[in-house]
Amino acid sequence: MFTGIVTDLGEIRSVEARANNLSRLTIYTCYPLAELIDGASIACNGVCLTVVDKGEEGGRTFFAADAAAETLAITTVGRWRAGARINLERPLKIGDELGGHLVAGHVDGLATVVARDDMTEMARFTLRAPHDLARFVAPKGSVALDGVSLTVNEVKGDEFTVLIIPHTLTVTTFGALKAGDTINLEVDTMARYAARLMETR
């Protein structure tokens, strides 16, 4: 489990096609090498990936993770190329501060950036969720977008807005997002369970 609070802005070092439709991703990070444990989970733009290798190169730490065919198909991972920047977060530990909301790292689908409005102190993003996921998005509720925990501002049909403060624009990939981009969307787990309970009444 994660909290949606990004702790590093990683960089894709390489992407390598492997057997059985796997893709081996190698990612630069500021995380200390000693803290990158084989088998550990790291959220990469909201996608929970498993560390399978690690090392240092030119004074930089990196780790490797494999993405399977389903992950490549339903998330943005299949579009990542060397040099791309991605949001990173290590998993929550018992006793850690829950600064965002509970995030599983299991992406539900892709949201499309409809518009970006830059204001004096923040930026407003309007996004369109896939129709079957839009019912889980509610005003004042939580969503994870590219692994970032955000509060929903307004909802109109399949579209919703979020406000991004300058700090988040600086330390995450949101600073580079523009209209037309697609990003990973994970809906709030509690909203999913609430909808399921209503369906089975």
User: If one looks up domain 8-89 in CATH, what number appears?
Assistant: 2.40.30.20
For 10-73, what is the HEC assignment?
Answer: EEEEEEEECHHHCEEEEEEECCCHHHCCCCCEEEECCEEEEEEEEEEECCEEEEEEEECHHHHH
Q: Kindly name the residue from 7, 14, 40, 50 that is annotated as catalytic.
A: 50
pTM confidence score: 0.93
41 carries an active-site annotation: yes
Domain boundaries, the chain: 8-89, 109-199
Q: Could you report the per-residue pLDDT of 132-188, keeping only the tens digit for each?
A: 999 999 999 999 999 999 999 999 999 999 999 999 999 999 999 999 999 999 998
Domain 8-89 shares a fold with domain 109-199: yes
Q: What's the CATH number for 109-199?
A: 2.40.30.20
Is 67 known to be catalytic?
no
